[in-house]
Amino acid sequence: ECFAHPTAHLPIQNHFELYNRWAKGGAGILITGNVMVDKRYKEAPGNVSSEGGKGEEDMVKLLTEWNKRTKEGGNSLLVMQISHPGRQSPMSVTSKPIAPSPVPLSFPLPGFLFHSPTEMTHEQVEEAIEKYAICAERAKKAGWDGVQIHSAHGYLLSQFLSPKINQRQDKWGLGKEGKMGRVLQLVVQRVRER
């Protein structure tokens, strides 16, 4: 949707009205656009971030309103797509993108320019995994029907699955020490634990 509050990264009235309208249309499941798990890294200006506002209470309140307004429109299930762009965070919103390895984008995305990413430290990988779980927990507290862990389209989790992008030789890599899908598996595990 890309119309979140520009500095607070919060959902706004437009979100509530749009999802209410879609629910009135009879949709069985409504899956949001990207909701960023980390407000420092967005895939586009106007992304909602689960870290938006003044803290968890502020965000859960707005997520609850979003859910309520959707349900007022109909019987649609509401699912939050939770995401981290990794290296696909444009210059207009992120000055220092992070990725599994410092491999820059090799293909242009129309209208976007990108910095070369910095390789994530072990701590940053763990932090990103935890942020997915926190985001899912906030959706749960707000009464949402579920989350979709976005792991496609070149975003962070798919970057960890790509041998062209993930060139790490540690436990987060795909080589001898690493395990294919380790980061994604940990994200799913931590989300389910919440």
Burial 89-116 (b: 16+ CB within 10 A, else e): bbeebbeebbbbbebebeeeeeeeebee
Stretch 31-49: mean pLDDT: 96
Given a cut of 90, whether residue 35 has pLDDT beyond it is: yes
For 174-185, what is each residue's pLDDT tens digit?
977 767 789 999
Closest CA to 61 of 116, 95, 16: 16
Angle between helical axes of 56-73 and 122-141 (0-180°, round to 10):
50
Tell me the residue length of the chain: 194
Where residue 106 falls among pLDDT bands split at 50, 70, 90?
confident
pLDDT in tens, 51-93: 988 889 999 999 999 999 999 999 999 999 999 999 999 999 9
In this prediction, residue 22 carries a pLDDT of: 98
Is 155 in the active site?
Answer: yes
Confidence (pLDDT) at 52: 84
Per DSSP, the three-state class of 61 is helix
Amino acid 54: pLDDT: 82
- What pTM was estimated for this model as a whole? 0.94
CA distance 127 to 140: 20
Q: State residue 145's pLDDT score.
A: 99
Q: Which two tokens stand for residue 103?
A: 């491999």
Of 19, 41, 132, 155, the active-site residue reads: 155
Query: What is the residue whose two structure tokens read 């649609």?
Result: 76
